[in-house]
């Protein structure tokens, strides 16, 4: 037996111990603190130990309790960032994916995994109203956005052979930080990212977009793509996709829709996403609003030839010899990654277990929870909404009469206090240059009673902060 093999009975015992820990963890989430009461030094001390030369055997698992206790719990009152709650059946899929240890490069390497990923991509594309799109799974929206813009660059202004030249990409001022990063990495230059003003609902202004395109075209610049948001990261604003699609077709531009946060809501409220199917590429994070464990990003696109143009460069040692269409599948010719985890298994298992209706219901509940918080904020004289509530992100702040700069500092202090108190977890945003408290509902565990705690917790924190001033 290898030095790394373990007997069947021992593996079963270890697996039973880990799944018991997981089950106990899930069982106590409803009463867990929204954020652990810890410091950086405490966490460092818990895990600062020498590398063991001799194995600890089953005792190695003794430290898992500390890992769980010092982690931020995915409980019902976590409303920070845009991070889904991680549903349990998908977690079991992740466990089995690690057991199977498939490298989902090509069909010959992982026939079941490749076939299941293709099936999941087809299911999601059809459910979103984008039938016929194909694509691949990836780590998250940042990777998906990078790949999409790489495809756009090769379709519009090829660079793979002779190197990148400056090219113009358009996005709104609310664009996710991954887009400037992608433009820089692709050699297009951040100076060539045109940030288009937004309207009163924080959606990209189509007249301003058209004016920017006209100016760049008149100056003889190379135009590549427009990035539209299907749920901006701060406020959930949905750009006017139909109108932007028409502009792109008129000017021969690639349309990429960044739907990492919001596009999955098209499963429940498709009327909010008219024009989604006009996109040449679409990113979405299933670890956000399809409640999958991290990581689980997805890129969909209309024409695989553009993926091949961007990513196909295969060494002889990896060349696919099969010619049958299904068996010739090679994700490394269509995406950035060569080594790829079996991400599709958890989605496939989760969708088969619950059915799409259950996910639509959970998304609708999140939307309703956002409406509930919006109403609570409007009813509180000391609070004000900072942005329209389009999807499930609610931006607001404490607004007792105070100079603007001091109000920003006060709300930052209130947020820190809310997190310290540990009953709910909020994050922050900047809306029109002003600091805001932000609650985002992408959590299948949240109930109306959890939502009802948010405003009282903010008001309690405000009183505590003001008492110290």
pLDDT one-digit tens code per residue, 420-434: 999 999 999 999 999
In the predicted model, what is the mean pLDDT of the chain? 96
Q: For position 328, what pLDDT does the model report?
A: 79
Q: What percent of the chain has pLDDT over 90?
A: 94
pLDDT tier for residue 346 given thresholds of 50, 70 and 90: very high
Pick the CATH number of 92-355 from 3.60.10.10, 3.40.50.300, 3.30.930.10, 3.40.640.10: 3.40.640.10
Q: For position 325, what pLDDT does the model report?
A: 72
Q: Please say whether the beta carbons of 6 and 397 come within 8 A.
A: no
**Structural tokens at position 166:** 């400056």
Q: How far is CA 311 from CA 74, 301, 412, in A?
A: 36, 14, 43
CA distance 183 to 168: 9
Mean pLDDT on 278-302: 98
Question: Which residues share a beta bridge with 134?
Answer: 301
pLDDT one-digit tens code per residue, 212-261: 999 999 999 999 999 999 999 999 999 999 999 999 999 999 999 999 99
Contacts of 39 (CB under 8 A, 6+ apart): none
Count other C-beta atoms under 10 Å from residue 38's C-beta.
Answer: 13
**Structural tokens at position 186:** 């692709």
Question: With the CA atoms of 357, 74, 257 and 244 taken in that order, what torsion angle do they form, in degrees rounded to the nearest 10?
Answer: 80
Count other C-beta atoms under 10 Å from residue 372's C-beta.
Answer: 16
Of the candidates 254, 255, 276, the one whose C-alpha atom is nearest the C-alpha of residue 267 is 276
pLDDT tier for residue 326 given thresholds of 50, 70 and 90: confident
Q: Please say whether the beta carbons of 102 and 109 come within 8 A.
A: yes
- Whether a cis peptide bond, with omega within 30° of 0, leads into 242 is no
Q: Please say whether the beta carbons of 443 and 72 come within 8 A.
A: no
Q: For position 178, what pLDDT does the model report?
A: 97
Question: With the CA atoms of 83, 422, 414 and 77 taken in that order, what torsion angle do they form, in degrees rounded to the nearest 10?
Answer: 40
The two beta strands, 434-440 and 281-285, are unpaired
**Structural tokens at position 213:** 């395109």
Of residues 404 and 448, more confidently modeled:
448
Q: How far is CA 339 from CA 120, 146, 175, 182, 461, in A?
A: 19, 17, 29, 21, 47
Q: How far is the first Cα of the chain from the last one, in angstroms, to the nearest whole number?
A: 67
pLDDT one-digit tens code per residue, 109-160: 999 999 999 999 999 999 999 999 999 999 999 999 999 999 999 999 999 9
DSSP, residue by residue, 188-210: S-GGGEEEE-B-TTS-B-HHHHH
Of the candidates 111, 123, 130, 142, the one whose C-alpha atom is nearest the C-alpha of residue 294 is 142
Going from N- to C-terminal start, the domains of the chain cover 8-73, 92-355
């Amino acid at each position: 037996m290898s030095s790394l093999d373990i007997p069947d009975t021992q593996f079963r015992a270890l697996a039973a111990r880990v799944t018991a820990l997981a089950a106990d963890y899930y069982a106590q989430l409803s009463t867990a603190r929204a954020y652990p009461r810890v410091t950086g030094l405490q966490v460092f001390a818990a895990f600062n130990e020498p590398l063991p030369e001799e194995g600890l055997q089953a005792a190695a698992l003794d430290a898992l309790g500390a890992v769980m206790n010092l982690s931020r719990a995915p409980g019902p009152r976590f409303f920070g960032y845009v991070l889904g709650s991680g549903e349990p059946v998908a977690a079991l899929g992740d466990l089995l994916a690690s057991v199977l240890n498939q490298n989902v490069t090509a069909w010959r390497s992982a026939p079941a995994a490749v076939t299941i990923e293709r099936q999941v991509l087809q299911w999601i594309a059809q459910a979103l109203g984008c039938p016929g799109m194909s694509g691949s799974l990836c780590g998250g929206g940042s990777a998906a956005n990078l790949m999409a813009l790489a495809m756009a660059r090769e379709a519009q202004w090829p660079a793979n052979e002779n190197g990148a030249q400056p090219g113009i990409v358009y996005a709104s001022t609310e664009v996710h930080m991954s887009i400037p990063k992608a433009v820089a990495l692709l050699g297009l230059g951040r100076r060539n990212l045109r940030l288009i003003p937004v309207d009163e609902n924080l959606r990209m202004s189509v007249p301003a977009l058209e004016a920017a395109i006209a100016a760049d075209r008149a100056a003889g610049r190379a135009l590549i793509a427009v990035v539209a948001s299907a749920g901006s990261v701060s406020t959930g604003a949905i750009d006017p996709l139909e109108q932007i699609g028409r502009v792109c077709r008129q000017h021969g531009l690639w349309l990429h829709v960044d739907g990492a946060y919001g596009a999955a809501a098209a499963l429940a409220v498709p009327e909010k996403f008219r024009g989604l199917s006009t996109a040449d590429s679409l990113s979405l994070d299933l670890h956000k609003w399809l409640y999958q464990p991290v990581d689980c990003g997805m890129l969909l696109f209309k024409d695989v030839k553009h993926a091949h143009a961007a990513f196909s460069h295969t060494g002889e040692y990896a060349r696919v010899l099969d010619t049958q269409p299904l068996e010739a599948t090679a994700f490394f010719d269509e995406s950035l990654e060569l080594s790829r985890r079996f991400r599709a298994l958890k989605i496939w298992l989760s969708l088969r277990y619950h059915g799409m209706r259950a996910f639509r219901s959970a998304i609708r509940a999140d939307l309703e929870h956002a409406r509930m918080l919006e109403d609570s904020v409007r009813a509180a004289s000391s609070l004000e909404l900072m942005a329209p509530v389009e999807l499930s992100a609610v931006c607001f702040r404490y607004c007792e009469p105070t100079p603007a700069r001091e109000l920003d500092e006060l709300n930052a202090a209130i947020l820190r206090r809310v997190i310290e108190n540990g009953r709910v977890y909020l994050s922050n945003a900047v809306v029109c240059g002003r600091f805001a408290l932000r609650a985002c509902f992408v959590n299948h565990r949240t109930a109306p009673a959890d939502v009802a705690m948010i405003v009282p917790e903010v008001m309690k924190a405000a009183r505590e902060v003001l008492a110290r001033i």
